[in-house]
Every structure is written in structure tokens, then in C-alpha cells.
Amino acid sequence: MRPSTVRRAAAALAVTALTLTALPAKADPVKPPRLSAAAITSALNEDVSIPGTTWMTRPDGTVEVSYDSTVTGSKLTSLTGVTKKLGEGVVLTKLPGKLTTRISGGSAIYGGNVKCSAGFNVSRRGIYYLLTAGHCGAEAATWYNNSAKTSRLGSRHHFSFPGNDYSLIVYRTDIPRPGGSVNLYNGRSQDISRAVNPNLGKYVYRAGGTTGLQHGTVTGLNVTVNYPEGRVTGMIRSSVCSEPGDSGGPLFYRQYAYGLLSGGSGDCSSGGVSYFQPVVEALTRYGVAVY
């Protein structure tokens, strides 16, 4: 090759190298900002009403969306389609069994065709009432102490369900003053003197007519639950198990009242998740107090 040809080839290579060097580096794709828990919850409230689903905000700011065994096929596709659009701020988990209210099975109080559990005894201006689950109160106007319905307990004064899940039963005026304690199902009882909202991680007990005394911890606050009957909000989630007939039963620790059993999934043999109506909200709504 002649010297002039070599010089031209070298110059061409230099121009090519300069051109390649001058090309801008390809930028990494920019991730969209993570949505806030409030924005995610708002979207879920708007776009998801599938029975068997729940959601709550975790301490780390992510939103945990849970679904039960009935959410399959097109329902699951619809749910995951929404959660994927909401980005990495959503964590999807599966619940054990089927999410239901707990109004059937053995229990302490009976009304209509259902059986539930007594919650907390409360009072207002010398009148005594019983707090229980709203979905129980929705089923019957008159409540009894026994399954034969020969011993009348009282009458439904008010109920709220869905949306909330609490009900107020007014005791008969001719019965003795009801006690302010909770049955521990071991021959003893626990006096209840205060109602407060629990913190995450709080150790708690639940009493119910079907499964007696059970324990666990609070695992979520301000939880949204979609039952087949409708949505309830502001619930307490716990690791305490429950079964049909336990509805309305009290969530407590020592002298502190926390909530009323609303529903759950799983059972007390294999384990499960339960949801509770905060009792402070119900007390405020009805203007009553534990004693």
C-alpha cells in the first residue's frame, strides 16, 4: 500500500473513532416515582370491590393487598392488573381459606337464624347495652341467651353494616345489672374498664362462643375488608384465629377493650387471620361507655 493510501485509511479510522466518541451515552430508563400509600389506597378504593380482598398500609409505607381462595380466574386477573399499575408500593399476599363474617355455628347469643358472640357490656345514663358485630345486628331484632330462644336477652337498638361493623342491643329492664367483664372460658373472667385503640404488634386475646379464648398479635390497622356482603373500613387485623359463631366477640388485653370480631379467614386448627371493628369508634358513635 502506498504511503498516501495508508494516510487516508488512518484518517478515516480517526474520524470514525471521533464520531463514536461524540455519540451521547444511552441513558438508563427512569423509574416512575413510587406512589404514596394514600394514593394507592385511594386507587384501590375506587377500582377494587372484589369480595375476598383486603388492604392495609404497612409500617414501611407499602400497601399490602391480600386475597382469599375465592379470588381466582378473571377476579385474580383483574386484581393483579390493578396492583401492577400501582407499582412497587404494593405487596400482594394470599389469605388462608375464605374470608367471611362469622355469624354461624355455636355462640353465646341467638337471634333470627344466626348465632353470634357477646362483645362488651356498656352503659349510658343508667341504661345497659351489649355491643356486638353489626352484621349480627342486621340479622335479628330480638336476641336470646339460649338456642331454644326461651330466655330473651334484649332488643336491637341500632346497627351499622357494611361500612362499619357494630351493633347495640339494649338489655331487658327487668334483668339484673349486666357485668362488665369478659368470659375467659376457664371458669374466670376479666374485668374491662377502659377502651383504647391498640398499637401494631400488641399482644391480644379474643373470646368467642365457638372457639373460646384465643390469642395473637395486632398485625394491621385501618384495614379495608371486602366481604361478600359489602366493604368495611378502618378494621384491626390480627393473627388471632376465629371461626363461625365467634362474630361480635371481644378483642382485649387485661382491662383494655380493643375491638369486636368482624370476620376472618382460615380456622383455629390450621391458623388464620381475623378482623375487628375498633370498639372506640362504636362507643363514640352510640355515646356509651364500658364499665
- Concatenated DSSP letters of 146-207: STT--SEEEEEEEEE-SBS-EEEEEEPTTSPPPPSEEE-SSS-EEE--EE-PPPTT-EEEEE
Cell of 191: 374485668
174 is catalytic: no
Burial (Cβ within 10 Å: 0-12, 13-18, ≥19) of residue 119:
buried
Rounded Cα gap, residues 78 and 38, in angstroms: 21
Q: How does 90-103 read in b/e, with b if 16+ C-beta sit within 10 Å?
A: beeeebbbebbbbb
One of 68, 160, 165, 242 is an active-site residue; which one?
165
One of 66, 68, 135, 246 is an active-site residue; which one?
135
- Is there a contact between 250 and 277 (Cβ–Cβ < 8 Å)? no
135 is catalytic: yes
One of 247, 262, 265, 274 is an active-site residue; which one?
247
165 is catalytic: yes
Question: Catalytic site residues?
Answer: 135, 165, 247
